[in-house]
Amino acid sequence: MHRMIFLSLSFSVVLGTFIVFTSSHWFFVWVGLELNTLSIISLLCGNFSPRSVESSVKYFLVQSVGAALILNVVIIQAWFCCSWDVNHSLDFVTSLLITLGLGLKLGLFPCHFWFPDVVQGVSLVSGMVLSTWQKLAPFIVLVSVVDSLSVELLVCMGVLSVLVGGWGGLNQTQVRKILAFSSVAHMGWIFATVAYSVGAASIMLLVYIIINSGVFLLASEFGVKSLSEVSRLVYISYGGSVGLALGVLSLGGLPPLLGFSVKFVSLWTLVGEGSFFPSGVLVAGSLLSLFFYLRIAFSGALMLYPQHSLAVFGWRSIGFYAGGGFTLRGFVLGLSISLSLFGLFSLPIFISAINN
């Protein structure tokens, strides 16, 4: 893809999200969502391989259905309430439709089926964009209408997403699919928390974007696509192996890393509202997710992963990963790993920010 076309499409993706963020009119919100979706689809199939085109078509169909549900809400609001205001209260039907539409766009249960297949079919950098940046626009819409949505439905979808995300990643050996199911589980945490506290959910999404971006970029930097390749990462770069282990353990919420702090904030919010049973199920689902996070960490730490002995020396054909100077990728990696190490120190800051 030509550089100018790539920059134009990337600018359109950012512009679409910015339009959604700044608009209080349903029509402009829908325009921003569509601009964001159509631009990212062109980027996903930029290398024009059969697998990426297939993933792009799946992503287009799913996002079209989600956008159609949101558009139906817009039409119903304009017809019956004569209002195009995003903050206008919704009735039972429109709240149910927009919850399903946002769940489809965010990849939540029961609309999560498409997300692992799409992430598996694109590159690691594209998978990072789908798992991080593409969650922002639907989350902004969710925050705008959360007062009109059913709290029980939000918590139920969030809890089931955490269970499905943890269970689905147990038998996976591909890093992209593991991170995709991890995204389903994390969005479940955020979806369950936003019903009670928008501030806590926003902090969780921001921290997840930072940590997850670091893990995806680190896997892309060393071409890590499966657990067997993770086991050879220590021979390529010891620092990269340690950084990947810290990143995935932080995603799993292992104390004292940063991922533990945001999950503690979520549990603190849910327990404060009296949601004891959903909190217990969320912890159980988080333990399922922690199992495959530990698989990645142990695979990077073991000297000999169960495989053919000659496969260990495949690293000799890989180029030398040494660079100098400031790069955006290096900055994101350094920020992600650094923040992961100071999880407990940030906990009082998160709690004070929510209380204020």
d(CA 140, CA 160): 22
d(CA 176, CA 130): 11
- The contacts of residue 105 (CB under 8 Å, 6+ apart) are 33, 63, 66, 67, 137, 138
Between CA 88 and CA 97, with CA 93 as vertex, the angle to 5 degrees is 85
Provide the pLDDT for residue 163.
Answer: 92
Provide the pLDDT for residue 139.
Answer: 92
Q: Exposure of 215 by Cβ count < 10 A (0-12 exposed, 13-18 middle, 19+ buried)?
A: buried
Domain count, the chain: 1
DSSP string, 170-217: TT--BHHHHHHHHHHHHHHHHHHHHTT-HHHHHHHHHHHHHHHHHHHH
Between CA 62 and CA 65, with CA 64 as vertex, the angle to 5 degrees is 70
Which residues span the domain enclosing 240? 3-355
Residues, the chain: 356
The dihedrals phi and psi of 174, each to the nearest 5 degrees, come to: -90, 130
The dihedrals phi and psi of 85, each to the nearest 5 degrees, come to: -80, 130
d(CA 61, CA 52): 14
Provide the pLDDT for residue 181.
Answer: 92
Determine if residue 141 is left, alpha or beta; phi over 0 gives left, psi from -120 to 50 gives alpha, anything else beta.
Answer: alpha
Q: What is the pLDDT along the chain (356 residues), one digit of tens a residue?
A: 677 888 888 898 999 999 999 888 888 888 899 899 888 988 888 777 788 888 888 999 998 888 888 888 888 888 888 778 888 888 888 889 899 999 999 989 888 888 998 998 888 888 889 999 999 999 999 998 888 888 889 999 999 999 999 888 888 888 899 999 999 999 999 999 998 988 888 888 988 988 888 888 888 888 888 887 887 777 777 777 777 888 888 888 877 778 888 888 888 888 888 888 988 999 888 888 888 888 888 876 655 445 544 444 444 434 434 444 445 555 566 666 666 666 555 655 656 656 65
Provide the pLDDT for residue 316.
Answer: 41
The answer to whether 215 and 180 have CB atoms below 8 angstroms apart is no
User: 10 Å Cβ neighbour count for 297?
Assistant: 22
The answer to whether 237 and 244 have CB atoms below 8 angstroms apart is no
Greatest Cα pair distance in the chain: 70
SS (H, E, C) 92-131: HHHHHHHHHHHHHHHCCCCCCCHHHHHHHHCCHHHHHHHH
Structure tokens at 182: 């991890």
User: What does the buried/exposed string (b/e) look like for 320-346 if buried means 16 or more CB atoms within 10 Å of the residue's CB?
Assistant: eeeeeeeeeeeebbeebbebbeebeeb
Closest CA to 189 of 270, 117, 131: 270
Q: What is the rounded end-to-end Cα distance, in angstroms, of the chain?
A: 46
Provide the pLDDT for residue 159.
Answer: 92
Q: Exposure of 203 by Cβ count < 10 A (0-12 exposed, 13-18 middle, 19+ buried)?
A: buried
